[in-house]
Amino acid sequence: MSTANFVHTEYPLSHPGVARAEQAVESARALRQRFDSTRGLAAMLLAAVVAALVVVADQMIETWAEGHLLAAWVALWAVGFAALGLLAGPARRLAARLVQALNAWSARVAQARADERLWAIAQTDARVMADLHAAMTRSDQEAPAVASKAQPEMSAAARRADKILRSRLFYI
């Protein structure tokens, strides 16, 4: 009687190179999500302000630095470090406000472009124009009900349609 021998080999379910590549992509994605654009801008603003203060301090110290070179050097570095310490918070807040303002401006520009494209399409397509008129009519009919409620928001599409039609209705 002969015995049967079976060979069981374990093969990995994924390729090690693919696993490393996926890990690298995931690490890059996590790094990108942690990136804060205001930090870099705050650092640049802070560096610019500190550099300006150091230049002004250097100009002031240059007049009396003839015999007091070490004292002038210490005073110059003290101004630099004091500026770094005192202006880091305001520079960070200014950078955050600047980034927020740029994001809001970008959103407004994108919305205006979208409105212009929608209006251009509506001028050539009667169905889109009918949809815009219907949205405006619905908005006018819902206005008394909306005014009586606590302050519910119109849908974004209804607001855009209302804005476009009200601003351009006299062209029709």
| pLDDT for the residue numbered 154 | 57
Whether the per-residue pLDDT at 163 is higher than 80: the answer is no
| pLDDT for the residue numbered 113 | 92
Confidence of residue 169 (pLDDT cuts 50, 70, 90): low
| pLDDT for the residue numbered 52 | 83
For the chain, what are the domain ranges? 35-108, 125-172
Instruction: Tell me how crowded residue 168 is: count the other CB atoms within 10 A of its CB.
Output: 14
Whether the per-residue pLDDT at 1 is higher than 70: the answer is no
Q: pLDDT tens across 42-95, in order? A: 777 788 887 887 788 777 777 765 667 667 777 777 877 787 777 788 888 888
DSSP string, 7-50: ------SS-HHHHHHHHHHHHHHHHHHH--HHHHHHHHHHHHHH
Q: pLDDT tens across 91-150, in order? A: 888 888 888 899 899 999 999 898 888 888 888 888 888 888 888 888 777 766 655 554
Residue 10, token pair as written in the block: 């374990």
Asked if residue 37 lies in contact with residue 98, where contact means CB atoms within 8 angstroms, the answer is: no
With a threshold of 0.75, does the pTM exceed it? no
| pLDDT for the residue numbered 144 | 67
Q: Tokens 């928001």 appear where?
A: 153
Confidence of residue 151 (pLDDT cuts 50, 70, 90): very low
